[in-house]
Structure 1
Amino acid sequence: MITTLAIAMVLAAHPLGNFSVNHYDGLTIHRDHIEHLAIVDLAEIPTLQQPPAGPARRTCAELRDATRSQAGGQPLAWRVTDASVTYQPGAAGLRTSRLTCRLTAPLRVDRPLALTFANAYRGDTVGWREITAKGHGVRLRDSTVPADSVSGELRDYPDDLLSSPLDVRQARLTAEPGDGSSATPADVPGVDAVTRYTGLLADRLNSLIGADRLTVPLGLLALLLSLVLGAVHAAMPGHGKTVMAAYLAGRQGRLRDAVTVAATVTATHTAGVLALGVLITVASAIAGEVVLGWLGVASGLLIAVLGAGLLRSAFRNRPHDGHGHGHGHGHGHGRWSGGVVALAVAGGLVPSPSALVVLLGAMALGRTAFGVLTVVCYGLGMALTLLITALTLRRLGDLTLAGRMRRLRPYSAAMTATLVLLVGTGMTLRAAAALI
């Protein structure tokens, strides 16, 4: 068992995310021709949905046809010289794939020659995009891309790239007779420590799901990791879970209300993961990241609409001359209960990609029931974060230090509603920007 687990630990999730399709284009300019090394690295879910179909040379021909390049204003005539596809074990028992295409085109560099290059193959997918250009027997100047790959041709992605990968889709340069080549450094962004360690936990969970023999101790450990990952997912910014907790604390709702909201978040998230998992499995044309994007827009809009409604209600029921308190308390409980449940549905509407990969991996290994149980634990972790945050905020509100701000209490409903509205608007804008 120890040997099996040790081997499984090596099989980590794709560093760019399980939905990513990553591209590398390496150009080498010679005196009489140009070479193009094109590599497409597909993560687990694209490989499951749309693996490189048919002979590799046919797929490379499709890539060639999607390439737009010119030399001196004339299009380059690319020819495929070699093609191959390889598969590697990925997260949770799934596979990743790597398409390698080698192309060449005639070129004559006997004077300064302006070159442009762009590759639109599978251009609507998310992931790393990198282009390099170097000269062999010619000199390059004014190049917009570096000479060396910072990702080792998609084999060794830098550690500091996960939050914002390279997105270089075109290149321009001038080739002229001579020796040497210019090298432009690539800008590689950083990643925060929380994302890095969360990724390590997700990798550990994926390795457990993909183990050849899933024993009871390993299964329990996988469920515990799912619970932790769900809790961390809910606490991270941009998901709206902590906003729901603040709303619960601000409304002084009963513990039963908080439990109802937590259960709604768990049920909504679990149902979303299961539905998207089934769609991806049966319909290869569905782009999972696009579905997640639109769900993010819908979730943000729903939260923003609820926030606007809460803000309107807060101004309508604000106290007047000290007698408004009893009036505002007598009704509206059904309205707030329905509103907070809708807020919980919005918060759990966007499935977590890591939970989705765990489910798909379990399904591929014939462990569908265990995969569903793991997703449920993921949702329970989210609910646990929501409950703890709500209770903590309520406790802080009862402290003496917080009591000094009692004069703001009549405005707490309006402030909470404004927070919900702002967070919903921000979530909508961020999700919409990712779809553009």
Structure 2
Amino acid sequence: MKSSYYMIAVLWLLGCAGIAAAHPLGNFSVNQYSRIEVGESEIKIRQVLDFAEIPTFQEKARIDLDKDGRLSDSELKDYAALITPGYLANLLLSINGIPVELRGGATVAQTEIGEGNLPILKIKWDLKADLPETLARNQVKFDNKNYRDRIGWNEIVVNQIGGVAVFDSTAYGNQVTDELKLFPEESLSAPLSERAVEFSFGAGPTPANAAPLRDRDGTRAAVIQKDRLAELISVPEITPAIAFFGLLLALGLGAIHALSPGHGKAIVGAYLVGSRGTPKHAAFLGLTVTITHTVGVFGLGILTLFASNYIFPETLMPFLSFFSGLIVLYIGLTMFKSRLFSLLGVDSTGHGHSHGSSPHSHHDHSHEHSHGHSGLTHTHDGHTHSHEIPDKITWKNLLALGVSGGLLPCPSALVLMLSAINLNRIGYGLVLTVAFSFGLAGALTVVGLAFLYGGRIFDGAKLSQNRLVKALPVFSAFVISILGAVICYNSIP
């Protein structure tokens, strides 16, 4: 039995290519879909509201009134009735400049199982609006002002039915997501943000001087992968064996997550290239990442639970990312200045001298001395010393770099924590989160050690006198500066 558990765990780990969210747009998203159908006597609108795992968790207190931990059909129905008036009030429809009231029809509220057994809430409305007296050519405006401050997919589709022609439309005639069920793979990095539409319509064919209703190009649905980390907390039963292998898997998933793009490997490596680092420094860096990431997950979880009415977690992420980028940029620029001066043979105050073969003097001493080699080490009256400014690793820089590496919590780890609360497995969730953070930091530590020992191999092979190798620390500091600037730029919405 134990060997079978072991094989399952190993296969699970090897089969996991990374951390992916069940919701293709992320666990923070609030997504909306509007399909507007224009007929001869009325306009119909199918409106769909989709909360991902974390927004659903935030709304749970308003839905689960009996506090039994379940979202029953009656509770969902009552919640939909509660939010419908306010939601419809923010759906603005006008025809020929005249506001038109939307009448609520059938309303369906249901949940689906998301990552870590957390629910995903979906509400559908079938709305209608009677057409006022129309003209041969009518102008329609629709604006969805709901959840403007939340990230997510917003899609509007316009259809023509019953002998009516729609033209000059800013929206398309075919849908992309099948009412938020399937999301196109090529659009996940830049989700649709269609919140308003204008179009014209009239009876009969499309006028000759008008643009007919267009269709979108074909799209391919994204493959939705399970979040392996969140699944660790939602196993039916936690036995000692399952808990043990769960910890191993969390460590492995953290390491895999660190090795995926954008998790500081280049920054860690570039920092340690040319620095006089030791394994102790690399270990300290990894420990700092572990602590920072764990505290960040806990902090964001507390924010999600108790302060979501004041600030949304997803709005905090860009600020954390920008601050992290500033730290990296500062370290990079400081190192670039120090290493460049060291390469050129000057100190930070501008003290410079030539290292050619001709005699020269330093300060006020008049004795001549020679440089028997082209490096920065030379002799004064038989005494050898170096003018190379050592680029020492400082604990302050290590701490700052570690904080920047762990400052942005992994959304999967946050889902794990919220799932642990939802399933009343808080202790196990905390342990898995720490294990995941250790795995992430461990991978970064290994990367740091690889760069450290790689640099020693260069020195041992006497390649350090090569001009390109000498310039490598300067280049690595420049890379850190660029990466910090890129992190700051990418964090700007």
Residue 442 of structure 2, aligned match among 384, 393, 400: 384
1:186 Cα deviation after fit:
5.4
Distance in 2 between the 1:88 and 1:124 partners?
24
Residue 308 of structure 2, aligned match among 259, 277, 284: 284
Distance in 2 between the 1:130 and 1:119 partners?
10
Distance 1:190 1:153, change over 3 A: closer
Distance in 1 between the 2:268 and 2:301 partners?
26
Q: Is the 8 A contact 1:165 1:189 kept in 2?
A: no
- 1:279 counterpart SS class: helix
Q: Is the 8 A contact 1:164 1:189 kept in 2?
A: no
Q: Is the 8 A contact 2:156 2:197 kept in 1?
A: yes
The amino acid of 1:37's aligned partner reads R
Matched residue, 1:136:
161
Distance 1:41 1:411, change over 3 A: same
1:118 Cα deviation after fit:
1.8
Normalised by the length of structure 2, the TM-score is 0.77
Residue 216 of structure 2, aligned match among 182, 185, 191: 185
Matched residue, 2:287:
263
Q: Is the 8 A contact 1:234 1:242 kept in 2?
A: no
For structure 2, list consecutive stretches of 5 or more residues without a partner in the other structure: 9-20, 64-77, 207-211, 346-354, 356-374, 378-384
| 1:77-103 residue CA offsets vs partner (Å, 9 max, x unmatched) | 222223332122221121110121222
- 1:34 counterpart SS class: strand
1:14 Cα deviation after fit:
2.4
| 1:29-63 residue CA offsets vs partner (Å, 9 max, x unmatched) | 11111111111100111011135765423412212
The amino acid of 1:378's aligned partner reads F
Normalised by the length of structure 1, the TM-score is 0.86
- 1:40 counterpart SS class: strand
1:409 Cα deviation after fit:
3.4
Distance 1:132 1:92, change over 3 A: same
**Does 2:45 correspond to 1:14?**
no
- 1:429 counterpart SS class: helix
- 1:14 counterpart SS class: coil
Matched residue, 1:8:
none
Residue 376 of structure 2, aligned match among 323, 346, 360: 323
| 1:319-361 residue CA offsets vs partner (Å, 9 max, x unmatched) | 523336834466x63x633212211111111101111101110
Distance 1:183 1:411, change over 3 A: same
**Does 2:68 correspond to 1:59?**
no
1:161 Cα deviation after fit:
4.1
- 1:238 counterpart SS class: coil
Matched residue, 2:381:
none
- 1:366 counterpart SS class: coil
Q: How does 1:196-207 map to 2 (within 5 A)?
A: 200=225, 203-207=227-231
Distance in 1 between the 2:401 and 2:172 partners?
47
Residue 209 of structure 1, aligned match among 211, 220, 233: 233
Superposed CA RMSD: 2.9
Q: Is the 8 A contact 1:151 1:158 kept in 2?
A: yes
Identify, as 1 or 2, the structure richer in helix: 1
Q: Is the 8 A contact 2:230 2:413 kept in 1?
A: no
Quick one: percent identity of the two aligned structures? 31
For structure 1, list consecutive stretches of 5 or more residues without a partner in the other structure: 6-11
Residue 140 of structure 2, aligned match among 115, 139, 142: 115
Distance in 1 between the 2:106 and 2:422 partners?
32
1:188 Cα deviation after fit:
5.0
Matched residue, 2:12:
none
Distance in 2 between the 1:23 and 1:373 partners?
36
Q: Is the 8 A contact 2:270 2:477 kept in 1?
A: no
